[in-house]
Chains A and B, each alone.
Chain A
Amino acid sequence: MENRPLEYDYTVTKMFMFTTIVLGIVGMLIGVILAFELAFPEVNTILGSGVAEYTNFSRLRPLHTDAVIFGFTLSGIFATWYYVGQRVLKVSMAESGFLMFIGKLHFWLYLVGVAAVVVSLFMGITTSKEYAEFEWPIDIAIVVVWVLFGISIFGLIGIRREKSLYISVWYYIATFLGIAMLYVFNNMEIPTILGTNGIGEAGFGNWWHSVSMYAGTNDALVQWWYGHNAVAFGFTVPIVAMIYYFLPKESGQAIYSYKLSLLSFWGLMFVYLWAGGHHLLYSTVPDWVQTMGSIFSIVLILPSWGSAINMLLTMKGEWQQVASSPLIKFMILASTFYMFSTLEGPIQAIKSVNAIAHFTDWIVGHVHDGTLGWVGFMIMGALFHMAPRVFKREIYSKSLMATQFWIQTLGVVFYFTSMWIAGITQGMMWRAHDEFGNLAYSFIDTVTVLHPYYTLRAIGGTLYLVGFFIFAYNIYRTMSARPVEESELQSASPMGA
């Protein structure tokens, strides 16, 4: 009995894998629609002008960002936590009825939150702050969901058998703490039902409406401290947690350097939070904050590349796996895009570069090479690794995986190259003066010139979405196939490498 390997319980993992895929499709589909709306404005009224209020770009845009961040990515983070957490702490969810209950409650409340977000954003109920659009009732629900996530993390840690926390667990803990701090402070708001007039009447208007605790410049500073670091603790830290677990597992290689992981982790924790100021260069926030944001963004290359290089060197001597295994391809391309994106970001944070790049599509391109290339590829890679072990069935089709990989890679390349050209073109045209010192272009000139790039980007996005459908189909066929293994696969990789 003692020597029998632990049977982990993946009930909650499966639930979150499901929402990862469904919300991924929703978020990316809306993204593709938005891309076509920019290239071809008539798409705004594609379902008729009667419902245009709900199909036009401005109403859909927050739905896209929030569906991919809080839907796809967050579900992926939760799914992997409930998988990785048990395995590196050497304890099964089934051992604690309490943690199992918390895990399920976590999922169902999360689902309720998602439904509330979708409905409210369609109705136009938004605070306007990017990635913090939700009004106070939903904010409270999100805090509850997050606390449940925290109880899961620290509960599982509390009953662990492996005393030392594996690197991935560091990153999951940091994700929990970082988002908790950022979300609470950025969403400080006062419900307007509290507003009382001279004769003691209150409770006018919509009960869900609120007003920010901060005004103007302060509001912007807090928002981008949040906005930038939501990227840190939503798109970087937990994804690094995933790659530290899944790449060594899948490749059968040990992490290249423990010291490098130590340096990257603590370096990232310290440096990342300072860099938010680079979203506010040449704005009305104090100059020294802008300069700090700029400098720390450059310093940020060190811990970011530390992790990425650590991952790439983990493959040392085993590079043939990249050629033979589509799953290794996903992870290696993810860490390559991580390097790429964490170099591009600091370049854009240099003041003189930012003067051209800010407000243009180059920023949109940067976000997407990070999210599509790094976050998306890593989460899909993680799901591909987990699926055979969770569903106890081999992956349905390895060749579909390879097809998906190449279609999506092509999509990402289309996306960021077109946005580079679009952004730099527009940035240069905005500032161009003619020989008499007058502006050389009217604003609309700088919009019409972007049409071919917007079209290319829409094609790139479509390719990525097609790849995601292939992914969903592959996972679906895997989970619905006849079970081939009675118990968990102990050593074989799903690729049979």
Chain B
Amino acid sequence: MFHWLEKHPFFFAVAVFVMIAFAGLVEILPNFAQASRPLIGTAPYSTLELAGRHVYIKNSCNACHSQLIRPFKSETDRYGHYSRSGEYAYDRPFLWGSKRTGPDLMRVGNYRTTDWHENHMKAPSKIVLDSIMPAFTWMFTNLADINTAYAEQLTVAQFFTVPYNQPVPMKDGSTKVVKMGATLADANALALAEAKVVAADMKDQNVKDAIARGEIPEIVALIAYLNSLK
């Protein structure tokens, strides 16, 4: 059979393809629908948080920070409850990372504040002595891209029925509505309102001035995102 295959490239290629495609079908398909159901208490990202997530991705924060807490005592002691599949239901893409040069950030919103992040992103080694994390000073001047975040919200609502402007069940039995702007101007206004809340806890004068002008620096969006990780 193999000698025959080696003389018939087409059938050879078909045989190879069947061999390699098989595993993917068996491993990936069966749990596909089940794995993407959101957990109660998991809400979609707001416009500003999503813009912050884009800043996180733009700077490859995931190259050094994981967002996956494994079910070991040492990890739950350090980072909080281990990760559950439904918590990632609105994560496109997933940001688990593959290397922990710095600590896990899956629940960083539980134990770090806006103030802490502001100082840390400016000069990490002043906050954590001997930290090898570089400073991310440009985030204080670059502006966050709210328009793209809004486009992404529209896309996921349209194609993946992500529940924006709809009540989402919370752990305490209440519901929460994550708003998405009806128009682009509306989305920018929503993001700015959220940014003002974050910036109120910040000290950087340039950031405060930018917010007063109606602009949102990347750092504000990033901190909004980090604070949402719980």
Contacts and interface: CB of A to CB of B under 8 A. Distances in A.
Interface of A: 37-38, 41, 44-45, 49, 52-53, 56-59, 61-62, 124-130, 154, 157, 163-165, 170, 173-174, 177-178, 181, 185, 190-199, 201-206, 209, 211-212, 214-223, 225, 229, 262, 266, 269-270, 272-274, 276-277, 279, 282-286, 289, 292, 296, 355, 358-361, 363-364, 430-433, 438-439, 443-444, 447-448
Contacts of B98: 130, 279, 359, 363
A218 B35 contact: yes
Interface string B10-24: 001100110111111
Contacts of A202: 151, 154
Contact of B85 (A62, A195, A217): A217
Contacts of B149: 205
7 contacts: A126-B60, A211-B156, A215-B36, A215-B92, A286-B31, A433-B77, A444-B130
Contacts of B12: 165, 170, 173
B166 interface: no
B174 interface: no
Nearest to A224: B98
Contacts of A128: 57, 60, 62, 93, 95
B22 A270 contact: yes
Contacts of A218: 28, 32, 35-36
B111 interface: no
Nearest to B65: A58
Nearest to B137: A49
B218 to A, nearest CB: 10
Nearest to A443: B103
B contact face: mostly helix, strand, loop, or mixed: helix
Given A217-B94, A269-B20, A276-B27, A62 B89 contact: no
Interface string B148-159: 111111111111
A444 B97 CA distance: 19
Given A58-B63, A197-B183, A283-B96, A355 B27 contact: no
Contacts of A196: 154, 158
A185 B103 contact: no
A contact face: mostly helix, strand, loop, or mixed: helix
B70 interface: yes
B148 A192 contact: yes
A129 to B, nearest CB: 6
Given A211-B152, A219-B91, A173 B16 contact: yes
A274 B23 contact: yes
Given A41-B132, A262-B2, A282-B70, A62 B27 contact: no
B133 to A, nearest CB: 7
Contacts of A289: 27, 31
Contacts of B36: 214-218
